[in-house]
Amino acid sequence: MRRERAAAVAMVAMLVAISLAALMRHPPPRTPERIPASVCETWMADALPGVGKKTRDAAAAAIRAGELEKLPPAARARARELFVF
């Protein structure tokens, strides 16, 4: 009986500890630094929404040149968030 009671007390203690840890204040997530558009690589453009295998090279070149109007609308908005022009 003592073993079962000890196990139950240990489980309750762990539950209390986890609950208290969840209530603690956590630091806000770090905002990533924006990337200069001149260093945009193909894989970066490929990660944008609406850019695929066929258009990634042209999209990367457009980002490097600062010509956002050549990108799809969704990619245009995301590029403004990620790159410094």
- Residue 61: domain span: 35-84
At residue 1, does pLDDT exceed 80?
A: no
The pTM is what? 0.63
Residue at 19 is within a domain: no
Q: Specify the pLDDT at position 46.
A: 93
Residue at 16 is within a domain: no
Beta-strand ranges (E) seen in the chain are 35-36, 83-84
Are 76 and 68 in contact by the 8 Å Cβ rule? The answer is yes
Residue at 17 is within a domain: no
Residue at 61 is within a domain: yes
Q: Specify the pLDDT at position 85.
A: 86
d(CA 55, CA 49): 11
**What are the backbone dihedrals phi and psi of residue 2, each rounded to the nearest 5 degrees, phi first?**
-65, -40
Residue at 15 is within a domain: no
Q: What is the pLDDT of residues 17-76, one digit of tens each?
A: 999 988 988 888 888 899 999 999 999 999 999 999 999 999 999 999 999 999 999 999
pLDDT band for position 3 (cuts 50, 70, 90): confident
Residue at 9 is within a domain: no
Residue at 52 is within a domain: yes
Beta bridge partners of 84: 36
Instruction: Count the domains in the chain.
Output: 1
Residue at 59 is within a domain: yes
